[in-house]
Structure 1
């Protein structure tokens, strides 16, 4: 259950909801199987999967929720090919070209017919709610997907005031500075071997992997005015990650020592206990890393309180 990505949000006016009440609310928005004509559905499921039926686990103020997102995969090319075939048949039969309005109606008909037979893709997305720090983290590959989960939580609770976590120094500025000047790098920070450099205007993006980020080649590119929008880094003894310009943490890889500690914990083959143990160790590490990053980026920026 170790997170791979993390989109961070600051909670405003943290909802005071007891664990039992939250469990009931999540149950009311629990995932149900897709109906035959539904393209997608999103709802809460048990973080422990088949090993448990609770919708939320809490360990020392850290709450774990899991959403299940299902969608039917109906390739546009399949629909288009069928529409073209049917349209051609009708044009021959009726001896006239088919107007755009009728082709659109035909497309909708094909979509409705094919949708129930489409494959279903399922995706579990974890949400970490740090009740002590009023922070939410979503283990999602994209900001759009993270926002979907927040919308579901907002619907579940009736109100949820959150804003993306922001810092006084933008990640772009800090990452570019760290690359340019080794003396500015925090002592615990070690650069990885991956970077994305973006030029001002329409000169595109330069992506480099498995490179020495202190090489003359990288310095030459930076001298041309490019700025770092993604940067691989490692916090010694904790984890490695790729920091993005929107403060998203991606490609998370936790230190071997931490994973070894988790594997050596005696859980008595209890899957739920294993889940909660891993979650506790993971969130402890992530909390320390997030606080460190915020400090390196000049502290947290004050964001305007959003509407519910």
Structure 2
């Protein structure tokens, strides 16, 4: 149930919509099955729980929403095959070969027809809005997915109340210093998953998995111009995660110290159990984000 990956953004403190106001806005971009235009993806907000029917699931001062993405399985090789056959038909009819512009139009027409017959695959991206602490968190490991979320929100929110989350110190320089100094920031420990990359050639990298490199070995890599771009850490013996050079928090895992709290979330109602689990997650991840922000020198003013 917990978010596995955090793409972190700030919300404007003045953005405080009611559930009804936000729901009305999101309905303008509600998911419509099969609504494909020239775009390869069909995106829209879907009910967070089908049984509730609303796009927003509210837990206290937190809103949870879900972006549903439909993609047609339409390989380029299939498009080219049908386009080539269609081009031959056109050539026979007009008596001369199709040109580049005409071939492009044929491909577009063929793609539009094939898309209506292609199979669909679906994926979901969960988003958490924290109105009190002004966070917007996207449960995604790839920037492309958070871009989809922001792009879809931009169609209904004007002005867009989303700001970048930036710290005074870059994650890369901080992680490199922690490794070099063999000192983790307060409330954190360093775990056995590290990646170093060359500052001049990103293809050159060194990865340590389930293994802590020797300090002398690390020093040689850093002296040679490599910096830390990925570091596994644990916060207060409660949550483990991996921090990367973009400031993304990945592979979040609540640890055994939280097991007792989670076991006490007894309810026969699935949604009530979910809400209790989310309330636990909200509290833990908010505290983690605050401590991590302090460890990175504090947040930059925007």
For residue 153 of structure 1, what is the aligned residue in structure 2? 153
Aligned residues: 300
CA distance in 2, matches of 1:5, 1:180: 26
Deviates more, 1:161-170 or 1:213-222: 213-222
Secondary structure class of the residue paired with 1:194: strand
CA distance in 1, matches of 2:106, 2:173: 52
TM-score in terms of structure 2 length:
0.89
Secondary structure class of the residue paired with 2:45: strand
CA distance in 2, matches of 1:114, 1:57: 36
Q: 1:259, CA displacement in angstroms?
A: 4.8
For residue 254 of structure 1, what is the aligned residue in structure 2? 254
For residue 74 of structure 1, what is the aligned residue in structure 2? 74
For residue 60 of structure 2, what is the aligned residue in structure 1? 60
- Contact kept in structure 1, 2:265 and 2:277, CA below 8 Å: no
Gaps of 5+ in 1: 304-308
Gaps of 5+ in 2: none
Deviates more, 1:130-139 or 1:208-217: 208-217
For residue 98 of structure 2, what is the aligned residue in structure 1? 98
Matched, 1:180 2:180: yes
CA distance in 2, matches of 1:94, 1:16: 62
1:184-263 equivalence runs, <5 A: 185-202=184-201, 204-215=203-214, 216-259=216-259, 261-263=261-263
For residue 14 of structure 2, what is the aligned residue in structure 1? 14
CA distance in 2, matches of 1:161, 1:72: 32
1:13-162 equivalence runs, <5 A: 13-35=13-35, 39-48=40-49, 50-87=50-87, 96-162=96-162
Q: 1:123, CA displacement in angstroms?
A: 1.4
Secondary structure class of the residue paired with 1:51: coil
- Contact kept in structure 1, 2:195 and 2:231, CA below 8 Å: yes
Q: 1:203, CA displacement in angstroms?
A: 5.7
For residue 306 of structure 1, what is the aligned residue in structure 2? none
Deviations 1:119-144 (A, max 9, x none): 21211111111111111111122223
Deviations 1:4-47 (A, max 9, x none): 11111112243221223223333343222123656422222222
For residue 293 of structure 1, what is the aligned residue in structure 2? 292
- Change in CA separation of 1:110 and 1:3 when aligned onto 2, cut-off 3 Å: same
TM-score in terms of structure 1 length:
0.88
Deviates more, 1:228-237 or 1:147-156: 147-156
Q: 1:177, CA displacement in angstroms?
A: 0.5
Deviates more, 1:173-182 or 1:35-44: 35-44
Deviates more, 1:164-173 or 1:28-37: 28-37
Deviations 1:92-130 (A, max 9, x none): 787754321222122112211211112212111111111
Secondary structure class of the residue paired with 2:154: helix
CA distance in 2, matches of 1:138, 1:198: 26
CA distance in 2, matches of 1:282, 1:203: 35
CA distance in 2, matches of 1:259, 1:158: 42
For residue 269 of structure 2, what is the aligned residue in structure 1? 270
CA distance in 1, matches of 2:199, 2:60: 45
CA distance in 2, matches of 1:187, 1:12: 29
For residue 165 of structure 2, what is the aligned residue in structure 1? 165
- Change in CA separation of 1:21 and 1:101 when aligned onto 2, cut-off 3 Å: closer
Deviates more, 1:292-301 or 1:112-121: 112-121
